[in-house]
Structure 1
Amino acid sequence: MNILHTSDWHLGKTLYGKKRYEEFEAFLNWLVDTITEQAIDVLLIAGDVFDTSAPSNRAQALYYRFLCRVATSTCRHVVVVAGNHDSPTFLNAPRELLRALDVHVIGSACDNPADEVLLLADARGEAELLVCAVPYLRDRDIRVAEAGESIEDKERKLVDGIRNHYAEVVAEAERQRTELGRHIPIVALGHLFTAGGKTEEGDGVRELYVGSLAHVTASLFPDAIDYLALGHLHVPQKVGGSELMRYSGSPIAMGFGEAKQQKSVCKIVFDRTPGAAGTERQAAAVQLINVPVIQPLERIKGNWEQLQARLLELAVLESSAWVEIIYEGEAVISDLREQLDAAVGSSAMEIIRVKNSRIVERVLAQRGADETLDDLDMNDVFARCLDAHEVPQEQRAELLHAYQETVVSLQHDDTRAE
């Protein structure tokens, strides 16, 4: 049995105003071809299918067209869980119709653990795989707020809530396996931030559980899981060094910080022959399949000579990269953008963003007259607000935590829900 694990497509995402639909379409075309070439039986999509809770018509068309093509391929089942960027209501809306195509969608946490356990059959109709389809767990799904609780109490409840949810769902999968009387694999999905997870600057990864990220460790997940397919982090990586707990990462670079990163999807191979109940389980074999670069990104840092040399090198190579420039030279160049455009000339490259660090440093004392919101994250903006109102240092930690909780809560509202 061959399984393919992917996540974090972020269909509809733009890069500094540049639409990327051609990239998304090319990736999905490649994925359909890969499913056929690799004889994939089950496709797992671990959240963040879309970049926003209200995706554009074009982004929706890409998603549904892809699912229809997969339904006519060698792939027997597709399992989709929601990520923190997705609207649970929107993903769930067509799930009864999609079920006819053997596409199984879980948009939000279910009250009954059995509703998150999928028993998938092979071409002969015999059970071959149990899937614990756990979506992104929102704060309200796993924690009951109480008056007077401390920050530490909230963090502990969040971690305990995630642990208990996985324990209940996996226990239900084990119960169903016992009833079958055969040892078939259990795989689990999830969309969360685990301890030690790697991120990249500008990748758009949001904090999920404020203050508790470092405490969601690999040991939280039940031992009965034969493979854990995670989403949320865009860098392909293992969890706690385990070959069988992985983030597939995003299939295309979501920001210039990921420009040099090799993107991939995970192929997991299980022996098709299930053993008798209670026998030693067959370990999964995991292989990374590299995703081809569709739209090259290039981040160039340095003084004018270094910038000019690299742009010339790329032009000679006939690069079609989208370029981010970070000028770090000592000399002040007031017409930097104009000189860069001239250096690019008639090549296929396009300069998407220019950050003139020298100018920013000179005006920093005047609160960044040359800065834009692209140069600041949400915590930077709040810090500026605290400075402007001369809030004492001893009050800032608690205010920052309350602010972060508010922002996370707003991000998690399902705007499609009635």
Structure 2
Amino acid sequence: MRLFHTSDWHLGQNLHGQERDFEHACFLEWLLRQLALHSPDVLLIAGDIFDTVNPPVKAQERLYDFIVSAHEQQPGLTIVMIAGNHDSGSRIELPAPLMRRLRTHALGRVLWLDDGQLDSERLLLPLPDASGAIAGWCLALPFLRPAEVTGPQLGDDYLKGIAQVHEWLIAAANAKRQPGQALVAVSHAHMAGGSVSEDSERSLIIGNAEALPASLFGPSISYVALGHLHKPQKVNGEERIRYSGSPIPLSFSEIGYQHQILDIQLDGETLVSVEPRLIPRAVNLQRLGPAPLAEILLQLAELPDIDLLAEEQRQPWLEVRVRLDEPQPDLRQQVESALQGKAVRLVRIAAEYAGNGGREGEDSAAQLVELDQLSPQDLFSRAWLDSYGSEVDEQTLKDFAQLLQEVQHEEEQP
């Protein structure tokens, strides 16, 4: 059996106010070509399909047009997609009855039976090979919100509830499968030891014990397709437990590595190979600085001029980071003037000020931080420090995390 592992598409994402639809369209066209070329049996999409719980219509059209095109091109392809923490589980599941006709399974949430047991059947999906025989079972584990995994049956410990759901589903899968059938888990979670990308990954929870242990996926699981972390990586060096990463760089912190999908080969229960397939970058992200303004202006002058025959939508996104000794009221005007006729699209200017601003004990460079760089947790911690003059304690952070999750859950209801 052959699988493609992808995740974190973030359809509908904006980069500092600039939409990324062209880049997502290029990725999906490339993915269709890869499906036609290599004919995998299964395509896994491990969450964060959309960037927000209420994605724009164009983003939803991209997803469903892709699913229809993939099915028309390869009628035997099975697609499994789960909701991530950016997604609305209800929205992901809404068209599920229709998508099943296209051999696509959409799982957004876990459900519980009347007797308090996990409804494992809906989360265990058969994976046919090219001959039509069931070569394996997929354990679909969407992002689990606190309301779904805490309560009278599970207690109030969020992480313990997540672990319990995993354990129950794996036990059900082991009981269901026949000899020679592989178990493949697809999960949206933060695993311990994973490398996080700055600026673009929303924390799942708050506290020191945020991550799940890789030991949760025992040796009976042939492959674990993870989503949430945007950088491709193995978990604790294990070949079979991996993040495929996002298909495009979702922030300027993600420009230093090649984005990819993963091509997985299984022979029965045995993992044979995992091969990265590098995704061409439709639009580059370019960063200048941090450097003094005079140096930045010289670098801007050296950028290539606009080619009238080239597509404007392929021009790089540009972030400029300027180091200043004092405020420059006309900073944006100077930067924009220097970019006249240049083949880049400016999306952000960040300023860093030299000097400690009179505060003792701090670094010599105080950085201006924009609101879109701060998570809700960062803002809460700063507000607490300003109000009470001390760092917020861990229990209060956990209480805030619980409240934040409840608000996000309410927002996602259609």
Report if TM-score (shorter chain) is over 0.5. Answer: yes
The answer to which of 396-405 and 87-96 deviates more is 396-405
- AA matched with 1:118: L
Query: What is the alpha-carbon distance in structure 2 between the residues aligned to residue 378 and residue 313 of structure 1?
Result: 38
Query: What is the alpha-carbon distance in structure 2 between the residues aligned to residue 393 and residue 249 of structure 1?
Result: 37
Does residue 355 (structure 1) correspond to residue 355 (structure 2)? The answer is no
Match of 2:147, SS state, is helix
Query: What is the alpha-carbon distance in structure 1 between the residues aligned to residue 276 and residue 26 of structure 2?
Result: 19
Superposed displacement of residue 361, structure 1: 6.5
Does residue 303 (structure 1) correspond to residue 282 (structure 2)? The answer is no
Match of 1:37, SS state, is helix
Query: What is the alpha-carbon distance in structure 1 between the residues aligned to residue 180 and residue 337 of structure 2?
Result: 65
1:245 aligned partner: 241
Identity %: 32
1:9 aligned partner: 9
Q: Are the equivalent residues in 1 in contact too, given 2:286–2:319 (CA < 8 A)?
A: yes
**Structure 1 residues 360 and 145 mapped into 2: Cα distance closer, same or farther (>3 Å)?**
farther
Does residue 129 (structure 1) correspond to residue 139 (structure 2)? The answer is no
Query: What is the alpha-carbon distance in structure 1 between the residues aligned to residue 207 and residue 378 of structure 2?
Result: 17
1:377 corresponds to which of 375, 378, 384: 375
Superposed displacement of residue 7, structure 1: 0.6
Provide the aligned length of Structure 1 versus Structure 2. Answer: 394
2:363 aligned partner: none
Structure having the larger proportion of residues in helix: 1
Query: What is the alpha-carbon distance in structure 2 between the residues aligned to residue 46 and residue 103 of structure 1?
Result: 13
Query: What is the alpha-carbon distance in structure 2 between the residues aligned to residue 166 and residue 381 of structure 1?
Result: 32
1:323 corresponds to which of 303, 318, 329: 318
Superposed displacement of residue 90, structure 1: 1.1
**Structure 1 residues 128 and 403 mapped into 2: Cα distance closer, same or farther (>3 Å)?**
same
Q: Are the equivalent residues in 1 in contact too, given 2:197–2:229 (CA < 8 A)?
A: no
Query: What is the alpha-carbon distance in structure 1 between the residues aligned to residue 367 and residue 203 of structure 2?
Result: 28
Query: What is the alpha-carbon distance in structure 2 between the residues aligned to residue 197 and residue 16 of structure 1?
Result: 26
1:139 aligned partner: 146
Query: What is the alpha-carbon distance in structure 2 between the residues aligned to residue 283 and residue 14 of structure 1?
Result: 37
Match of 1:118, SS state, is strand
- AA matched with 2:149: I
Query: What is the alpha-carbon distance in structure 2 between the residues aligned to residue 127 and residue 72 of structure 1?
Result: 22
Q: Are the equivalent residues in 2 in contact too, given 1:295–1:321 (CA < 8 A)?
A: yes
1:282 aligned partner: 270
Superposed displacement of residue 86, structure 1: 1.1
Does residue 90 (structure 1) correspond to residue 96 (structure 2)? The answer is no
1:277 aligned partner: none
2:406 aligned partner: 409
Q: Are the equivalent residues in 1 in contact too, given 2:146–2:402 (CA < 8 A)?
A: no
Q: Are the equivalent residues in 1 in contact too, given 2:7–2:226 (CA < 8 A)?
A: yes
- AA matched with 1:190: S
2:203 aligned partner: 207
Query: What is the alpha-carbon distance in structure 2 between the residues aligned to residue 401 and residue 159 of structure 1?
Result: 12
Does residue 293 (structure 1) correspond to residue 248 (structure 2)? The answer is no
Structural mapping, 1:14-413, within 5 Å: 14-74=14-74, 76-111=77-112, 112-144=119-151, 157-178=157-178, 182-203=179-200, 205-211=201-207, 213-271=209-267, 274=268, 281-301=269-289, 302-315=291-304, 320-330=315-325, 333-358=328-353, 372-389=370-387, 391=388, 393=390, 396-413=393-410
Q: Are the equivalent residues in 2 in contact too, given 1:42–1:76 (CA < 8 A)?
A: yes
**Structure 1 residues 237 and 392 mapped into 2: Cα distance closer, same or farther (>3 Å)?**
same
Query: What is the alpha-carbon distance in structure 2 between the residues aligned to residue 22 and residue 313 of structure 1?
Result: 27
Structure having the larger proportion of residues in strand: 2
TM-score, length-normalised on structure 2?
A: 0.87
In the TM superposition, structure 1's runs of 4+ consecutive aligned residues that sit over 6 Å from their partners are 316-319
**Structure 1 residues 362 and 320 mapped into 2: Cα distance closer, same or farther (>3 Å)?**
farther
- AA matched with 1:339: Q
Q: Are the equivalent residues in 1 in contact too, given 2:385–2:392 (CA < 8 A)?
A: no
Q: Are the equivalent residues in 2 in contact too, given 1:363–1:370 (CA < 8 A)?
A: no
Match of 1:288, SS state, is strand
RMSD of aligned alpha carbons: 2.8
**Structure 1 residues 374 and 395 mapped into 2: Cα distance closer, same or farther (>3 Å)?**
closer
Query: What is the alpha-carbon distance in structure 1 between the residues aligned to residue 301 and residue 29 of structure 2?
Result: 33
The answer to which of 205-214 and 33-42 deviates more is 205-214
**Structure 1 residues 331 and 246 mapped into 2: Cα distance closer, same or farther (>3 Å)?**
same
- AA matched with 1:268: I
Superposed displacement of residue 66, structure 1: 0.2
The answer to which of 256-265 and 243-252 deviates more is 256-265
- AA matched with 2:148: D
Segments of structure 1 that go 5 or more residues without pairing to the other structure are: 147-152, 275-280
Superposed displacement of residue 331, structure 1: 6.1
1:150 aligned partner: none
**Structure 1 residues 226 and 212 mapped into 2: Cα distance closer, same or farther (>3 Å)?**
farther
- AA matched with 1:249: G
Q: Are the equivalent residues in 1 in contact too, given 2:325–2:354 (CA < 8 A)?
A: no
Q: Are the equivalent residues in 1 in contact too, given 2:223–2:271 (CA < 8 A)?
A: no
Match of 2:241, SS state, is strand
Segments of structure 2 that go 5 or more residues without pairing to the other structure are: 113-118, 308-313, 361-365
Superposed displacement of residue 190, structure 1: 0.4
Q: Are the equivalent residues in 1 in contact too, given 2:381–2:392 (CA < 8 A)?
A: no
- AA matched with 1:100: R
Query: What is the alpha-carbon distance in structure 2 between the residues aligned to residue 6 and residue 370 of structure 1?
Result: 35
The answer to which of 281-290 and 100-109 deviates more is 281-290
**Structure 1 residues 395 and 387 mapped into 2: Cα distance closer, same or farther (>3 Å)?**
closer
